[in-house]
Structure 1
Amino acid sequence: MINKFEIENLGPIENAKIDDLGKINLVIGENGAGKSFLLKALYAIHKTAEEYGKGDDIRRVNDIIADKLRWTFQADALGELVNNSSTTCNVLVEDNHSSFSIKFGKKATVAINDADNNIGQLNYNSVFIPAREVFSIQKIILRSRDIDKVFGFDDSQYDLARALQLMPANSEIMMKTPRDGLMKMMGGSIELDENSNKWQYVKDGIKYTIGTASDGIRKLGMLERLLNNEYISNDSIIFIDELEAGLHPDAIIKLLDIIEELTKQSKMQFFISSHSYFVIKKMHLMALKDKESCIKCIMPQEKDFVVHDFKEGMPVNPIIEQSVRLYEEEVDEVL
């Protein structure tokens, strides 16, 4: 579980220092505020910690993070990631098992020389789930990276495409209640046909081509698959970009209920970006109903980022303000 992060002058983020994180963390803000960038930066850093020292991999941590940042943000040179207001950027991430910090400047190309780490052995996986599903483009993603070695799909998508390939685990079913909830929402399941090596949507025992399933079903299917093959497990950190994308409001609420259940059954931590009023309102209600919950909201404030505890109420933000403005406009028209 990530407990603290400090990011200075990385991409659009000039200053983000948060040390009061929850098990569920919602990141909100206007377009261009750096929501997705923040999630991907945290993902890249933490994925580096997971890969460092794994198996027979003898790469230096400096090399792993440099490679991860380049392929996650599709940068020809690492210096391109430094905010224009500065000549250097600094990043620090601390979790229950490790602390990791890096520093590099505008002249950095493909290497990071200044990296300080205290990384323990991590036996779990984090995952980034993008706004768009990847089942339908999985083979294209893998080819672009494994064979062509070209930018186009970032490392978060590449890692996800590989993770989805893993076959369901043969061990006792983990997280059965959340998985059952996801499959009920989907009306079936998404499975990989071993003969054709193609994804299929299975409903009532009948197999359909993956193209017949909606984007929303395929998005839910990614989370269900990752639970089924145990790529994500007890300590995993899950990053979800624009959770509401492709989902009906009813499905949004049910998915958040499932996410809450996952955090209760395990030590999982979620970072979620959203533009949705339904997501904000639901998280506030979740915090009110369960006093033991730890649900936070991270949002930009001028050139900084601040954290808000949903137990203290709905955070003041442009999404709520826009909802109020539309209501007032309606009242003015009616009266």
Structure 2
Amino acid sequence: MINAIRLENFGMHERVAWQNLRPLNLILGVNGTGKTFILKAMYVAMRTLEQYKRGNAQQSLPDILQEKLHWTFQTDRLGDLVNKANHAKLTFAMTVDNDKSISYEFGRDTVGKILKAGTTFQRNRDSNTIYIPAKEVLSLQDVILKSREQDMMYGFDDTYLDLVKALQLPRQRGKNYQYFAASRRLLRDILGGAVDYDEQKHQWYYKKGNTRYSINTTAEGIKKIAIFNQLLANRYLTPRSIVFLDEIESSLHPQAVVAFLQMLYELSQSGMQFFIATHSYFAIKELYLLAQQHHMSIPVLSLSDTGTPAYDDLLAGMPDNSIIDTSIHQYEKEVDFPLENGYAQRA
């Protein structure tokens, strides 16, 4: 589990120091405040740790890190990731599994080679981290694979490529992890059917009753939930996995968002960790209710265009945030509207 992160001069972020992280963690902020940037920075670090000294791989930690940063942020020069507001170096540090860490730094003149990077891990972290972007990938898998593996082109970053490869792993037979089996039943209820992969035709299908539909004609929300179902079924995800969810509400009905978050809570009890970025008041409210119901800490990182982050916890209440403020403002307008109409009619 990620316990804490600290980054300075990373992209648009001058300084973020998020500590005491828990199984469920929330990132808020309007568009352009860097939510995805932070999720990807953590993802790069975790995937580097998981590839480090795995199997017969002989790549050094800086080499793995450099390649992962390059293809995740898709920048020709690593120095382009350094904050332009001052002349200080980009620094990143993350504490994992309570007593281990990974850190690195480089300046704006860095092209590719990272000279200062290290970890206290003696071998790779035995898990599989995954990043689930806002856009679904099932109907795009062939395009993503060709773009990256054949053409070596920018467009779909490593979060997409890693996800497509993970989804293509066959489903495992036999008894699944206890929490995973229960969660998959919840997912099937949300889906209202099943999504399967035809290995011979290399195509995904949505099946409802006895009818099978092309994945291209299936709703975006169904495809997004099916992604998670497949990762549980093929056991790419384990109880030590970390999952990054960008705009969890994308293409999902609020009722499905609530059910999805209930399932994530159940999975978090198995040991999995989640980082959720959202613009949805429904998602924030449901996480707040989960925190109150189970008396559990859910740390919140709120980003703003002022550049100064705020740190809250849903166990202590709903945080001050533009998403929440907008929802409250709409409610107040709705309450005041009948009074204003009534006054105008009487006048």
TM-score, normalization: structure 2?
0.93
Residue aligned with 2:4, SS: strand
Query: Is 2:321 the counterpart of 1:320?
Result: no
Residue in 2 aligned with 1:93? 94
Query: Is 2:208 the counterpart of 1:206?
Result: no
| Aligned partner of 1:184 among 184, 189, 199 | 189
Residue in 2 aligned with 1:289? 293
Structure 2 CA distance, aligned partners of 1:138 and 1:101? 33
Residue aligned with 1:286, SS: helix
Q: Unaligned regions of 5+ residues in structure 2, if any?
A: 340-347
Structure 2 CA distance, aligned partners of 1:333 and 1:197? 55
When the two chains are superposed, the root-mean-square deviation of aligned CA atoms in Å is: 1.3
TM-score, normalization: structure 1?
0.96
Residue in 1 aligned with 2:198? 193
Residue aligned with 2:309, SS: strand
Structure 1 CA distance, aligned partners of 2:110 and 2:252? 41
Structure 2 CA distance, aligned partners of 1:113 and 1:92? 15
| AA of the residue aligned to 2:175 | E
Residue aligned with 1:42, SS: helix
Structure 1 CA distance, aligned partners of 2:197 and 2:303? 41
Of 101-110 and 196-205, more deviation after overlay is shown by: 196-205
Residue in 1 aligned with 2:130? 127
Tell whether the 8 Å contact from 2:8 to 2:15 is kept in structure 1 after alignment. yes
| AA of the residue aligned to 1:92 | A
Alignment of 1:34-73 (within 5 A): 34-73=34-73
Instruction: Note the C-alpha offset of 1:187.
Output: 1.1
Of 168-177 and 300-309, more deviation after overlay is shown by: 300-309
Structure 1 CA distance, aligned partners of 2:259 and 2:303? 27
Tell whether the 8 Å contact from 1:79 to 1:107 is kept in structure 2 after alignment. yes
Residue in 2 aligned with 1:277? 281
Residue aligned with 2:303, SS: strand
Structure 1 CA distance, aligned partners of 2:265 and 2:46? 22
Residue in 2 aligned with 1:3? 3
| AA of the residue aligned to 1:94 | T
User: Against the structure 1 CA distance between its residues 202 and 58, is the aligned structure 2 distance closer, same or farther, given a 3 Å change threshold?
Assistant: same
Instruction: Note the C-alpha offset of 1:20.
Output: 1.5
Residue in 2 aligned with 1:259? 264
Query: Deviations along 1:135-187, whole A, 9 cap, x unmatched?
Result: 00011111111111111100011100110010001231231110011011111
Residue aligned with 2:142, SS: helix
Residue aligned with 1:304, SS: coil
Structure 2 CA distance, aligned partners of 1:325 and 1:305? 23
Structure 2 CA distance, aligned partners of 1:55 and 1:192? 28
Residue in 1 aligned with 2:345? none
| Aligned partner of 1:242 among 242, 247, 251 | 247
| AA of the residue aligned to 1:61 | L
Structure 2 CA distance, aligned partners of 1:238 and 1:205? 33
Report how many residues are paired: 333
Report the structure number with the largest CA radius of gyration: 2
Residue in 2 aligned with 1:168? 171
Structure 2 CA distance, aligned partners of 1:261 and 1:227? 13
Residue in 2 aligned with 1:233? 238
Residue aligned with 1:133, SS: coil
Tell whether the 8 Å contact from 2:204 to 2:214 is kept in structure 1 after alignment. yes
Residue in 1 aligned with 2:343? none
Tell whether the 8 Å contact from 2:51 to 2:124 is kept in structure 1 after alignment. no
Identity, % of aligned pairs? Answer: 38
Alignment of 1:6-45 (within 5 A): 6-45=6-45
